[in-house]
Amino acid sequence: MKVLSAVIATANSACTGSESFDDAVTTCSPNQMTINIPSCAFTNARMDAAGAYLAGVDFNSLVPDVENNCTGTFDADADNWVFELIDDISECGSVVVNNGTFVTYSNAVQSTVGTENVIITRKRDMKVGFSCAFPLEVTLSAANAINPVLTHFELDLGSEEGTFDVQMGLYSDSSFSTIVDSSFTVNIPDDLNVAISIADETDMVTVLETCWATPIADPNDVVSYTFLDAKCGSNDELNVYQSLEVQANGVDRSSTFSIESFNFQGEEGGDIFLHCDVQICDPNQEVCEPDCSGVGSRRRRRSASSDEHVLVVLGPIYVGGPK
């Protein structure tokens, strides 16, 4: 019987007999988690691909979820069975672990075949585990802040780790609908309206940990001014100068703030580079919105707009002197 079983396992002319579950390929994105398994891996292992499903890292019964039915589909072109979670990748029993640096989603393709009675069993279990890890923190710099002011930072950690496309942009006003271009001018105290967003469709949100300004591109320059720290605006900017408004932080894919423009001491007109330390947070697993009630919540005063033009340097944000 063992010899006959080996013949059956390799009877499919498309299979060489060497294919295994080790040939499975996992791909990850913030709103999709997929594992592709060669159909010949199931054939060689004498397992039923059509009866396999996702139900977590341990053996469990199949329970279809809201967004996903937790079963596989056959890709005839690639000769693969595809098991995927779309939109809510925490479904179908996914185990979610957050270690403060990464959030990891783990699941397994599993199946049981064979029969048994009260004395003997011919049941065989199969389980192919896979996981996707997403980094929770990245530092962004709007170094090309005027032409146009939209920088992308892509986190790519390989085929089994996720990718976030995070963008940081300077906008014409606090509606955050129009990215500025090289014709945009700034004079003290015109607002700098900044949004940091995840470009992908995902439940993840952005959290601004720290934001600061420097006169040169180096984020570690000895001259720097921190206006948002520990996820909250500074007390001076919020309540003393009333020059900062944090419209959103930790509540959506986009975090936004508006701050009145300024020059560094000793300059009457100069460059400003903005830097933000950004956390990627899963609101389904943790509290992402910071509690800034202790800092104060008075609304900032609004300054009038101006049609005056000043020299705009392509690259950093050039802020002219007071109007």
Q: Given the structure tokens 């950093």, which residue do they identify?
A: 316
Distant-in-sequence, close-in-space partners of 54: CB < 8 Å, separation ≥ 6: 68, 70, 71, 83, 85, 92, 93, 94, 107, 108, 109, 110
Average pLDDT, the chain: 76
Q: Give mean pLDDT, residues 172-180.
A: 88
Looking at per-residue pLDDT, the higher value among 132 and 53 belongs to 53
Percent of the chain, pLDDT > 70? 76
pLDDT at site 273: 86
Higher-pLDDT residue of 197 and 165 is 197
Q: What is the dihedral of CA 88, 90, 96, 99, to 10 degrees?
A: 0
pTM of the complete model: 0.61
Residue with tokens 């990891």: 104
User: Has residue 9 got a pLDDT over 70?
Assistant: no
Is the per-residue pLDDT at 239 higher than 60?
yes
Question: CA 235 to CA 318: how far, in whole Å?
Answer: 26
pLDDT in the model for residue 322: 63
CATH 2.60.40.4100 residue ranges of the chain are: 137-319
First vs last Cα of the chain: how many Å apart?
91
Which CATH number describes the domain made up of 2-135?
A: 2.60.40.3210
Among 14-18, 44-48, 62-66, 239-243, where is mean pLDDT lowest?
62-66
Using the predicted structure, report yes or no on whether residue 97 has a pLDDT greater than 60. yes
Residue 229: DSSP 8-state: E
Contact assessment for residue 159 and residue 230, using Cβ atoms and an 8 Å cutoff: no
Three-state secondary structure call for residue 130: strand
Quote the pLDDT of residue 81: 94
Q: Per CATH, the architecture of 137-319 is what?
A: Sandwich (2.60)
In DSSP terms, which residues pair with 254 in a beta bridge? 197
Question: What's the pLDDT band for 321 if we cut at 50, 70, 90?
Answer: low
Q: Beta strands 244-248 and 163-171: pairing type? A: unpaired
Q: Where does the chain have alpha helices with state H? A: 2-9, 39-45, 235
60 closest CA partner among 109, 120, 15, 25: 109
DSSP string, 73-112: EEETTTTEEEEEEES-TT-TT-EEEE-SSEEEEEEEEEEE
Per residue in 115-140, pLDDT (tens digit) is 777 655 777 888 888 888 877 665 55
Q: Which of 36-40, 140-144, 317-321 has the highest mean pLDDT?
A: 36-40
- Give the model confidence (pLDDT) of 270-305 as tens digits: 788 888 888 888 888 788 899 988 765 433 333 323
pLDDT at 142: 52
- pLDDT over 90 for what percent of the chain? 19
User: What residues contact residue 284 under an 8 Å CB cut-off, 6+ apart?
Assistant: 90, 96, 203
pLDDT of residue 159: 35
* Predicted confidence (pLDDT) at residue 60 exceeds the cutoff of 80: yes
- What number is the average pLDDT over the span 94-117? 82
Q: Which of 41-55, 113-127, 149-163 has the highest mean pLDDT?
A: 41-55
Q: What per-residue confidence (pLDDT) applies to 135?
A: 72
Q: What is the DSSP string of 144-187?
A: S-SSS-EEEEEEE--TTB-EEEEEEEEESSTT---B--TT---B
Mean pLDDT for the stretch of residues 168-188: 82
| Out of 39-48, 113-122, 126-135, 174-183, least confident range | 113-122
What whole-number distance in Å separates Cα of residue 186 and Cα of residue 174? 15
pLDDT given at position 182: 60
Those residues with Cβ within 8 angstroms of residue 89's Cβ, 6 or more apart along the chain or in another chain? 31, 32, 33, 105, 132
Of the pLDDT bands very low, low, confident and very high (cuts 50, 70, 90), residue 158 is: very low
Write out the two tokens for 117: 């009675």
pLDDT at 256 over 90: yes
pLDDT tens, 190-232? 899 988 888 777 788 888 888 998 888 788 889 889 999 999 9
Q: What is the pLDDT of residue 138?
A: 59
User: Residue 191 is which amino acid?
Assistant: D
Cα–Cα distance, 209 to 256 (Å, whole number): 12
Dist CA 29 CA 204 (whole Å): 11
The CA distance from 182 to 180, in Å, is 7
Host H or E run for residue 233? strand 232-233
